[in-house]
Structure 1
Amino acid sequence: MDRKIIIIGVAGGSGSGKTTFARRLKERLGEGRCCILAQDSYYIDQSSRFDYDGGSVNFDHPSALDFDLMGQHLSDLKQGQTIQVPHYDFKTHQRTKETSPMAPKPVVVVDGILVLSQPQVRCHFDEAVFLSIPEETRYAHRLRRDVQERGRTPEGVRNQFFGQVKPMHDQFVEPSSEHANHLITNYTIFDTVLAEVAQIAERV
């Protein structure tokens, strides 16, 4: 491998805007220079335990995700190897048999609530962004997304948020902000931090 590949982690609570940040960074850098690897692709199969509105499945605990595989994939990308990204179906909660090839690009953006909390993933990051956004804002975003895109009920989303999402956020997600070197505490500095990270990435 002659060319350098940098990996940028983008973390924050559910509904904080991290996926928007990742997408806008990719738009700024261009399709040919940047790709996004989402934590959501690495959920383990939960179909045998899922009961439509979440129930016993805690999707916000690190044990719900295959971070070892994600860490290996980041290592492979950094070495210039193409990976096979798993598919997870959020309506059936199955990891499907299909995978999608992802070839490394100069900038790899990793998007997920827990990616800064896991050392086997975090160790591959050259830059790390954390969106520390107030709970009420994150909850409103989560409610809209899960009802519109994932077929959930408002009551189920609320129960899951305050029964599972918030406790896991407090225990695992928010403490991981200490590993970030770019912190977004409100949306007024969103564009400023985006420009800073893009400038770093553009040097590759």
Structure 2
Amino acid sequence: MNNKPYVIGIAGSSGSGKTFFLNSFLNHFDPSQVTLISQDDYYIPSNTKTQEENKLYNFDVPTAIDRAAFFKDISDLFEGKTVYKEEYTFNNPDIKPKLLEIKPAPILIIEGLFIFHYTEVNDLLNHKIFLDANEDVALERRLRRDLIERGYFEEDVRYKWVNHVVPSYNTYLLPFKDSCDRVIINNTDDPAPINQITDEICKELSEKIKF
């Protein structure tokens, strides 16, 4: 790859529907045209902590991420190198982590809660997308995901929401909302609005980028 990629940064509050948005977005392109690197795969392993520490451990702070490794792999993609990274399984012992193969592509999507806060990452972004949802909607989605998919206790989920998730959002993400190129409010589980928005974005990109 001779030219640097066109970089799209996508961040949003917990429960804003980032996963569905990303899947809808990626489905518009051939795998050779777009690649995704996610901040979530760079959490510092929590197995170095005791069970009680893990219960209260705050994953929603910038220091919970291996920031240097995250940026190094982004830099490697800029240089046309393929990145190999073990996926993060959110401490679920029942899931065997896959080895991710992240290949360079003309469009690079960088996703994560702190991508605007990390200045070295933010400086690389050509287009910034901010996903958000009303707090009651976001919390309901978070509960549904963590209780069913990850087997967490409701008391722990609500504790983390009040003490970790919301303060982190207000400190590390919300201040960047007005500087983003597109803000998407996603308060419905109807896929049609998100599909329409990704259709529009991808049409704009196809006109801008020559594959």
TM bucket by the smaller chain? 0.7 to 0.9
Per the TM alignment, residue 97 of structure 1 is displaced from its structure 2 partner at its CA by 9.4
| Aligned residue number for residue 141 of structure 2 | 141
Deviation for aligned residue 1:92: 5.0
Look up the equivalent residue of 1:75 and give its one-letter code: S
**TM-score of the superposed pair, with normalisation by structure 2:** 0.84
2:200 aligned residue: 196
Which 4+ residue blocks in structure 1 deviate beyond 6 angstroms? none
Q: Percent identity?
A: 28
SS of residue matched to 2:88: strand
| Deviation, structure 1 residue 49 | 2.5
Alignment of 1:179-190 (within 5 A): 179-187=179-187, 190=194
Q: TM-score, normalised by structure 1?
A: 0.86
Which letter maps to 1:82? Answer: T
Contact 2:46–2:91 at 8 Å: present in 1 too?
A: no
Mapped contact 1:67–1:121 kept (Cα < 8 A)? no
Q: Which residue of 2 aligns with 1:16?
A: 16
1:68 match: 68
Kept in 1, the 8 Å contact 2:92–2:150? The answer is no
Name the structure 2 match of 1:91.
Answer: 91
Consecutive unaligned residues in structure 1, runs of 5 or more: none
In 2, distance between residues paired with 1:148 and 1:52? Answer: 22
Give the Cα separation in 1 of the matches to 2:42 and 2:147: 22
Corresponding position: 1:42 with 2:36: no
Structure 1 residues 200 and 75, CA gap change in structure 2 (3 angstroms): farther
Corresponding residue pairs, total: 202
RMSD: 2.5
State the secondary structure of the residue aligned to 2:174. helix
Secondary structure of 1:128's aligned partner? strand
The aligned counterpart of 1:77 is 77
Residue 163 in structure 1 maps to residue 163 in structure 2: yes
Structure 1 window deviating more from structure 2 (181-190 vs 1-10): it is 181-190
Which letter maps to 1:139?
L
Distance, in Å, in 2 between the alignment partners of 1:161 and 1:124 is 30
